[in-house]
Structure 1
């Protein structure tokens, strides 16, 4: 017996197709709905933002230096002997020629008296011999010898006077006693160091600049300095000298900076951070330094628009401690992310929060703070 296959009735085929299309439509709607719900459930990343501003920015070479006194001298004892009196201590201000210490001078005074006695004796001998010589009663040889002896006696007396004077150790210039190497009663030899005198009001700093940057710097360029002792203060200086020779071992050039004399809080030996300002742009677009990301030598920022972060490549120019100059990629007023960008990706949802403001400092009672030494 032969069995024949019968085709499904046409209404049943149409119903099956309709059911398939309906299932696909429902699946698409459900997928879109799930995607929308997932997008709505995407957590917002908290960030802080700041606007792109316009202002002045300086181009500077930044380096470090140790402050030095322009005038500093180690005062040596010119005579040997026992220290009889020390007149100054470390920290005392002194003037040029002021006596710092004295040596015992009894022996020196006796030597001066003996030398002066020899001068007096020879002067009398020469006066008598001169009158005799004028009458041709003595030889020229005897006359010349007495004259030479008198000159030698004067020289010996002058040396004894100088030795007595040099028994007083004096300051070579105005300044401050920064070190004392002797004590009363010490026996010292000639050319022994006794004091160090430093001029605190005339300071300089040596900054070693790589040779590739030296063409940017010129004498009279302004310099800004900061020191750890006064972190909130900026001190001024000016480029005084640029060494014409490159140090072959380090590839650097010594730049000497003269520091303004009125800044009396600075001291020799302080470690300073210096900025030599060599150019300035007045109306530059500025973006906070914290907003700029650097990857593979390329800079970028995250912009905030309609609650989402957009990564934007930029081109920067000069930079300082707080800002970068923007040459391309941003416009005035753009909001850029300054905090939280490490967790961002392009088109991420963000929640802009305001940075916490520091609470105002409460003044302490006058009795609570110890008095500062004047």
Structure 2
């Protein structure tokens, strides 16, 4: 009986129904990393640069006097003048007197020339008659001399008489040469030419006197503002001395000096901004020197779009850094001593080595990527080559 009680639990366990076996757990699916992607596009990387500039008048001139004289009146500094308007006035009386004297000299020279021309017409006939008479006398003297020699050979004439005939012949030859030279000189009109030169000189003196009278008013060569006057009323102003300074204060140019390598990259399309006393205005490149000066810098001249004040200003412009494939700087990571990006290919992240060319702010230029490639950005922490990724907006 006791043994039966011991076997009863075993019999009950054997008769109890068996429970269904639990299914084996499935293998976990790989995790998908949510990422965003940007397209690798070709472009130019730029940075904003600053430089100091000086605003100066577009035209600034120290106007000198063209004649000497005593100053009788000046315009005050700050006067706005037009081109050709007088600024410094000299006493005109001496210049007017010199002009009148030059005109009188011209009239006298012209009168002398006219008188000489009239005399020339009358003298030509008289000289021609004198030449003809001298020629006739010469022929007669030559004929008597030849006859005298024949008589001397025949013994009908004394040698002393022949000498007298020879002297008369020489005298007639000299008279003929003088008459011919006088007529030739008259025909050459040497005296007339000399008088004509005197008339030309007198005309030149008149023009000089007229110019001096005009220069008695020192005028503005262009429209602008009289910045400074260097003489006062009553003072003597010499020719070539500074009279006043004229500038176009309403049209200013900005001048700055840059190293040659930076100035070389600037083009007329480069946008510039001038900033002065809180005011900003666009500016355009007007010109730049080809070679650096003694300071080894290149002068760059800008033309502001809006008016500013003379003096210092700040220039801002976009400076070209590099050109190539542009990416956000955060898309490039340093792994294993080289730059890498992660491309999006077939739902997976593929590690791609690249060379970082340049970086400015949050932009970078790289080499080693085809244009249009999908680059993961921002790069999730712990992303590895071959990870399964899912692009989210």
Alignment TM-score, normalising by the size of structure 1? 0.56
Alpha-carbon shift at residue 155 of structure 1 (Å) = 0.7
Sort the Cα spacing of 1:201 and 1:221 in 2 relative to 1 into closer, same or farther, 3 A: farther
> In the alignment, which residue of structure 1 is the partner of 2:309?
267
Sort the Cα spacing of 1:129 and 1:226 in 2 relative to 1 into closer, same or farther, 3 A: same
Q: Equivalent residues in 2 for 1:167-246 (5 A)?
A: 167-227=216-276, 230-231=277-278, 233-246=279-292
More strand by share: 1
Alpha-carbon shift at residue 191 of structure 1 (Å) = 1.1
Structure 1 residue 325 and structure 2 residue 362: aligned? yes
> In the alignment, which residue of structure 1 is the partner of 2:165?
none
> In the alignment, which residue of structure 1 is the partner of 2:201?
152
Query: What RMSD in Å do the two structures reach over aligned CA positions?
Result: 3.2
Question: Quick check: 233-242 or 146-155, which moved more?
Answer: 233-242
Find the aligned partners of 2:290 and 2:300 in 1 and give their Cα distance: 10
> In the alignment, which residue of structure 1 is the partner of 2:81?
94
The partner residue of 2:98 within 88, 111, 129 is: 111
Please list every run of 5 or more consecutive structure 1 residues that lacks an aligned counterpart in the other structure: 1-56, 288-315, 319-323, 332-374
> In the alignment, which residue of structure 2 is the partner of 1:47?
none
Find the aligned partners of 2:72 and 2:205 in 1 and give their Cα distance: 25
Sort the Cα spacing of 1:168 and 1:215 in 2 relative to 1 into closer, same or farther, 3 A: closer
Alpha-carbon shift at residue 113 of structure 1 (Å) = 0.8
Alpha-carbon shift at residue 279 of structure 1 (Å) = 5.3
Higher alpha-carbon Rg = 2
Alpha-carbon shift at residue 326 of structure 1 (Å) = 5.3
Find the aligned partners of 1:100 and 1:192 in 2 and give their Cα distance: 14
Q: Equivalent residues in 2 for 1:1-374 (5 A)?
A: 59-86=47-74, 88-137=75-124, 139=186, 140-227=189-276, 230-231=277-278, 233-247=279-293, 250-260=295-305, 263-264=306-307, 266-268=308-310, 270-278=311-319, 317-318=359-360, 324-325=361-362
Is the CA contact 2:329–2:364 (under 8 Å) kept in the aligned structure 1? Answer: no
Question: After TM superposition, where is structure 1 displaced by more than 3 Å over at least 4 residues in a row?
Answer: 134-139, 278-281, 283-287, 324-331
Find the aligned partners of 2:227 and 2:264 in 1 and give their Cα distance: 38
Alpha-carbon shift at residue 243 of structure 1 (Å) = 2.2
Find the aligned partners of 1:212 and 1:155 in 2 and give their Cα distance: 56
Aligned to 2:267, what secondary structure does the other structure show?
Answer: coil
Is the CA contact 1:70–1:202 (under 8 Å) kept in the aligned structure 2? Answer: yes
Alpha-carbon shift at residue 127 of structure 1 (Å) = 1.6
Sort the Cα spacing of 1:246 and 1:164 in 2 relative to 1 into closer, same or farther, 3 A: closer
Alpha-carbon shift at residue 317 of structure 1 (Å) = 4.3
Alpha-carbon shift at residue 330 of structure 1 (Å) = 8.9
> In the alignment, which residue of structure 2 is the partner of 1:13?
none
Is the CA contact 1:61–1:276 (under 8 Å) kept in the aligned structure 2? Answer: yes
Alpha-carbon shift at residue 240 of structure 1 (Å) = 2.0
Q: Deviations over 1:156-197 (max 9, x none)?
A: 111111111101110000111111111111112111111111
Alpha-carbon shift at residue 58 of structure 1 (Å) = 6.3
Alpha-carbon shift at residue 252 of structure 1 (Å) = 2.7
Is the CA contact 1:219–1:242 (under 8 Å) kept in the aligned structure 2? Answer: no
Sort the Cα spacing of 1:325 and 1:200 in 2 relative to 1 into closer, same or farther, 3 A: farther
Aligned to 1:161, what secondary structure does the other structure show?
Answer: helix
Find the aligned partners of 1:165 and 1:257 in 2 and give their Cα distance: 38
Alpha-carbon shift at residue 219 of structure 1 (Å) = 2.9
Find the aligned partners of 2:114 and 2:248 in 1 and give their Cα distance: 53
Aligned to 1:235, what secondary structure does the other structure show?
Answer: strand
Is the CA contact 2:329–2:359 (under 8 Å) kept in the aligned structure 1? Answer: no
More helix by share: 2
Q: Deviations over 1:76-123 (max 9, x none)?
A: 11111110111x222111111001121112122111111101111221
